[in-house]
Structures are given as structure tokens and as C-alpha cells.
């Protein structure tokens, strides 16, 4: 069947055609160049009934004249109107395809414009370390590797607090802003404050000195439930392990100083229990801040040369330089949880790879930002444990460590 319809020349079409061809030389303001290219693609009209689905034909028949005129030019737009009035179908097949493509493109333009504006992820965090601490720098470096650039599509909103009492106030202050996710690191008060302020928003946590399942923050490690997930270090077990290392390093020791603060009492208790098993008398040393270290360590003055252990706590990392200095002044050998303490001057460190943990927690933030539900994300336990020995400090203290003991270390500072 011949479907070609007779189309008479529309009066003034030549002038419109000239204007249209002139317009093709200049991009339409505010619209892609492709719109002009599509207008130039029209050919002589042919019947398209055999090729176009009825739903498409109905959409074309209802298309506004000004839209068709923009895409196909005034000539075919007017032809379309005359054919519609006479009951004939006079739009060309390629023109029809052009119009459909243009309609889809026009509909996609708003979405394309949105895609060009990257979504800003806002992560709020309260901590005790300064913002430029190496562990935070390593976290931000990993976030950058995952595609999050500060100032472009990522905001790391951080407040430093001098003590654990500041967690609640500062997390609530951050929650008042437009936040997508919270990060909680370290002790239990940090996570407790983040949960209270989050209002159900997701929380990625790094539980350093408490068991989130035993404390009731998650239903299980494999399926947390709720809005929190992250990494967990079995710090209580590590506290007992440090006592064992002390016994190996100092086989003649009879007393063990156990340093703690308000957030590390469970580590204190675990260390004291282990000390008794190894025939060491536990001596509790509580500290409250940087100004208190020298006075606190004076508790070991009557036990010269006897070792102490430092727990995994935020202030012991933050004040590592002051702690190391106070220990050296009193010539006290020590073992700490953080490698960073060893670099500051402590004799031995045994614990997890703190830099690696902050690298790993960035992966949780990334997954949640992409739509993963914290309730379904298993909590991982860190497999990275690190032992280091500072022989420079050993020489300063006049301490001799066996070659067998030194050989066990992952790192030795000469």
C-alpha cells in the first residue's frame, strides 16, 4: 500500500527554510548543539504508520507545535498541522525518528545536568586527636582513592574534643547540620554519643576498647541490625597478651604498673588478672590528662626498673610525646598498645595496626554512601597485630632484651 500523502508547499515556507538554515549555524542558547543537528536531518515526508508503534504515533500527534517546529523546522511543523486537520498522516519516517530522539534527549537533559553536579557526602566526626593526626590523614587519603575529594563531593566535618565528656555535646552540634553519616572511633562514649545524636542516620564505627555486641549496640557481629556497623578490635584479649609479653621481656620483674583512665577500666581489669597469673603484682595507676602523667608515674618510684603497660585509649595516643618523656625521666620500661607511642620513645608496642584500621573504615563509609544498609553489613575484626621494639630507648634505660625476643618484632628501631 502506498502511504505517501500529497503535501502542498506552505506559503512562506522558503523564508522559514532560510531562517531555519541560518539558525543551524548558531547553537540555540541554553540547549545542546545536538538539537540543531537533529533539525537538519529531516527529509521528504513519508508515511510511518507501518513502522511506528501506535503509542508513539499518539505521542507525536499530541506533541506541541512549537516543540515540533523547533526540532523539524516550521515547514514540516505546518505540514503536520495541515495533515492532522485533513485526516492524513504527513510526517516523514526519518523526521519521526528525529522527533522521538529529540523528545528523549530533551527529557534526559535535566538528568544529565544533575549528573554533572556530584552528590556531596557529609561525614561528621568527633575525636580527641588533632584533625591533622596521621591516622585521620590516612583515612582521608583512602577516601580520596575511593573517589571522595574534600570540597568537591566530600565534606569531613570534624570537631576535636579534649576529653570524653565532650562527645555528647559536639555530636549533637554536628547533627544540627546537614549530615549524611557519622563516624565514631575509639571508646564506648564516642559511639553512645553518636547514636544519641544520629536520629537513625548511619554510623560507621571503629570500636577500639570495647565489645559492641557485649555492650548491646549490635545484635550480632555478622548481622548488626540498626544503623551502626564497622570494625572491632578485641582489646580486652590484647591487654592480657601485653602482660604475657612483659613477662617474656622482663623475666625477673615482680611488679607491673597498669596505667588506665576512665575509658580503659576493662583493659585494666584484664591486665590485672593476667598479671597475677604470671606472678606479677599489679599496681594501678590512674591518669586524667597530660598534666597528670609525671605525678601518676611517681607511683613506681619505689619499684625502680619495674615495667608498666599503657592501654589502648585516645588520650594515650594523643599525649604520646608527654608520656614517653615522663617515662624516660623516671627510667621506667614500658609496653604500649600503639606503634605511635613506640615512635615517641616507649620501649615496646604490641597491638593492632591503627593506620590500617583507619584505612579500612573508609571502605565502610564508601559502601554506606553507595546505599549499603549498616544493618546488613557484618562487623569485621581486625586481623592486623603489630609488635615493635625501640632499641634506642632500651639503650637509654640500660635494658637488655634477648635476641629471640627482638626477632619476634615486626619492626625494630635501632
Q: Which of 118-122, 248-252, 284-288, 306-310 has the lowest mean pLDDT?
A: 118-122
Short-list 355, 356, 344, 350, CA closest to 409: 350
Range of the domain at 99: 13-115
Return the CATH number at 325. 3.40.50.2300
Burial class (CB in 10 A: 0-12, 13-18, 19+), 299: middle
pLDDT band of 109, cuts 50, 70, 90: very low
Question: Does residue 62 have a pLDDT over 70?
Answer: no
In this structure, the answer to whether residues 104 and 166 fall within a common structural domain is no
Residue showing cell 549555524: 25
* 388 close to 339: Cβ distance less than 8 angstroms: yes
Q: Which of 67-81, 143-157, 313-327, 352-366 has the lowest mean pLDDT?
A: 67-81
Short-list 382, 356, 379, 359, CA closest to 228: 379
Q: How many CB atoms lie within 10 A of CB 49?
A: 11
Short-list 43, 150, 137, 155, CA closest to 99: 43
Question: Does residue 202 have a pLDDT over 60?
Answer: yes
List all residues 6 or more positions away from 216 whose beta carbon is below 8 Å from its beta carbon. none
Q: What is the pLDDT of residue 118?
A: 57
DSSP 151-190: TTTEEEEEEE-SSGGGHHHHHHHHHTS--SEEEEEESHHH
In this structure, the answer to whether residues 207 and 141 fall within a common structural domain is yes
| Rg (the chain; Cα; Å) | 35
List all residues 6 or more positions away from 220 whose beta carbon is below 8 Å from its beta carbon. 213
In a domain, 183, yes or no: yes
Report the run of H or E that residue 229 belongs to, with start and end: strand 228-232
Q: What is the DSSP letter of 30?
A: T
List all residues 6 or more positions away from 175 whose beta carbon is below 8 Å from its beta carbon. 124, 182, 197, 198, 199
Q: What is the pLDDT of residue 409?
A: 94
In this structure, the answer to whether residues 277 and 344 fall within a common structural domain is yes
Q: How many domains does the chain have?
A: 3
Greatest mean pLDDT range, 17-26, 91-100, 314-323:
314-323
* Distance (Å, whole) CA 395 – CA 313: 27
Q: How high is the mean pLDDT of the chain?
A: 79
In this structure, the answer to whether residues 126 and 188 fall within a common structural domain is yes
In this structure, the answer to whether residues 54 and 83 fall within a common structural domain is yes
pLDDT in tens, 163-181: 889 999 999 999 999 899 9
Q: What is the pLDDT of residue 196?
A: 96
In a domain, 66, yes or no: yes
pLDDT band of 126, cuts 50, 70, 90: very high
SS3 87: coil
pLDDT band of 55, cuts 50, 70, 90: very low
Question: Does residue 369 have a pLDDT over 90?
Answer: yes
In this structure, the answer to whether residues 331 and 208 fall within a common structural domain is no
Give the mean pLDDT of 93-118: 45
Percent of the chain whose pLDDT exceeds 70: 71
Give the mean pLDDT of 381-408: 92
Q: Which of 116-120, 237-241, 289-293 has the lowest mean pLDDT?
A: 116-120
In this structure, the answer to whether residues 83 and 35 fall within a common structural domain is yes
In this structure, the answer to whether residues 368 and 334 fall within a common structural domain is no
Q: What is the pLDDT of residue 209?
A: 81
Q: What is the pLDDT of residue 414?
A: 86
Q: Which of 13-22, 198-207, 235-244 has the lowest mean pLDDT?
A: 13-22
Short-list 357, 385, 386, CA closest to 230: 357
* Distance (Å, whole) CA 106 – CA 70: 12
Which among 63, 96, 115 is the end of a domain? 115
Question: Which one is predicted more confidently, 367 or 71?
Answer: 367
Report the run of H or E that residue 103 belongs to, with start and end: helix 93-115
Question: Does residue 379 have a pLDDT over 80?
Answer: yes
In this structure, the answer to whether residues 404 and 255 fall within a common structural domain is yes
In a domain, 138, yes or no: yes
In this structure, the answer to whether residues 93 and 145 fall within a common structural domain is no
Short-list 43, 41, 39, CA closest to 91: 43
In this structure, the answer to whether residues 186 and 330 fall within a common structural domain is no
pLDDT in tens, 282-318: 999 999 876 789 899 999 999 999 999 999 999 999 9
Which among 115, 133, 165 is the end of a domain? 115
Q: What is the pLDDT of residue 25?
A: 43
Question: Does residue 123 have a pLDDT over 80?
Answer: yes
Percent of the chain whose pLDDT exceeds 90: 63
List phi, psi (to 5°) of 248. Answer: -70, -40
* 203 close to 175: Cβ distance less than 8 angstroms: no
Q: What is the pLDDT of residue 270?
A: 96
SS3 252: coil
In this structure, the answer to whether residues 325 and 407 fall within a common structural domain is yes
pLDDT band of 92, cuts 50, 70, 90: low
Amino acid at each position: 500500500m502506498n502511504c505517501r500523502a500529497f503535501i502542498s508547499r506552505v506559503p512562506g515556507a522558503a523564508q522559514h527554510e532560510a531562517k531555519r538554515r541560518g539558525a543551524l549555524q548558531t547553537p540555540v542558547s541554553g540547549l545542546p548543539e545536538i538539537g540543531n543537528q537533529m533539525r537538519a536531518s529531516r527529509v521528504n515526508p513519508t508515511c510511518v504508520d507501518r513502522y511506528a508503534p501506535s503509542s508513539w504515533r499518539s505521542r507525536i500527534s499530541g506533541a506541541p507545535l512549537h516543540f515540533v517546529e523547533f526540532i523539524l523546522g516550521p515547514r514540516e511543523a505546518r505540514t503536520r498541522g495541515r495533515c492532522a486537520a485533513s485526516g492524513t498522516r504527513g510526517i516523514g519516517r526519518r523526521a519521526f525518528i528525529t522527533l522521538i530522539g529529540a523528545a528523549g534527549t530533551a527529557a534526559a537533559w535535566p538528568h544529565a545536568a544533575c549528573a554533572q553536579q556530584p552528590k556531596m557526602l557529609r561525614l561528621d566526626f568527633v575525636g580527641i586527636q588533632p584533625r591533622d593526626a596521621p591516622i585521620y590523614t590516612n583515612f582521608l587519603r583512602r577516601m580520596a582513592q575511593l573517589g571522595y575529594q574534600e570540597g568537591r563531593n566530600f565534606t569531613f566535618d570534624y570537631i576535636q574534643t579534649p576529653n570524653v565528656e565532650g562527645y555528647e555535646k559536639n555530636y549533637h552540634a554536628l547533627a544540627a547540620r546537614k549530615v549524611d553519616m557519622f563516624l565514631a572511633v575509639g571508646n564506648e562514649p564516642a559511639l553512645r554519643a553518636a547514636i544519641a545524636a544520629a536520629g537513625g542516620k548511619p554510623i560507621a564505627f571503629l570500636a577500639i576498647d570495647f565489645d559492641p555486641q557485649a555492650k548491646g549496640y549490635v545484635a550480632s557481629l555478622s548481622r548488626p541490625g540498626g544503623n551502626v556497623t564497622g570494625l572491632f578490635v578485641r582489646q580486652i584479649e590484647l591487654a592480657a597478651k601485653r602482660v604475657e609479653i612483659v613477662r617474656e621481656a622482663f623475666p625477673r620483674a615482680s611488679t607491673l604498673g597498669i596505667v588506665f583512665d576512665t575509658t580503659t577500666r576493662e583493659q585494666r581489669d584484664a591486665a590485672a588478672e593476667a598479671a597475677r597469673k604470671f606472678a606479677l603484682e599489679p599496681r594501678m595507676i590512674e591518669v586524667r590528662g597530660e598534666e597528670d602523667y609525671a605525678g601518676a608515674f611517681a607511683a613506681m618510684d619505689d619499684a625502680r626498673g619495674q615495667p608498666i603497660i599503657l592501654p589502648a585509649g585516645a588520650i594515650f595516643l594523643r599525649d604520646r610525646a608527654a608520656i614517653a618523656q615522663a617515662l624516660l625521666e623516671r627510667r621506667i620500661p614500658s609496653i604500649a598498645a600503639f606503634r605511635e607511642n613506640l615512635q615517641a620513645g616507649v620501649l615496646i608496642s604490641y597491638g593492632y595496626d591503627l593506620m590500617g584500621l583507619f584505612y579500612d573504615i573508609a571502605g565502610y563509609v564508601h559502601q554506606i554512601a553507595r546505599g549499603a544498609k549498616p544493618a546488613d553489613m557484618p562487623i569485621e575484626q581486625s586481623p592486623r597485630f603489630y609488635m615493635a621494639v625501640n632499641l634506642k630507648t632500651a639503650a637509654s634505660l640500660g635494658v637488655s632484651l634477648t635476641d629471640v625476643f627482638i626477632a619476634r618484632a615486626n619492626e625494630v628501631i635501632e
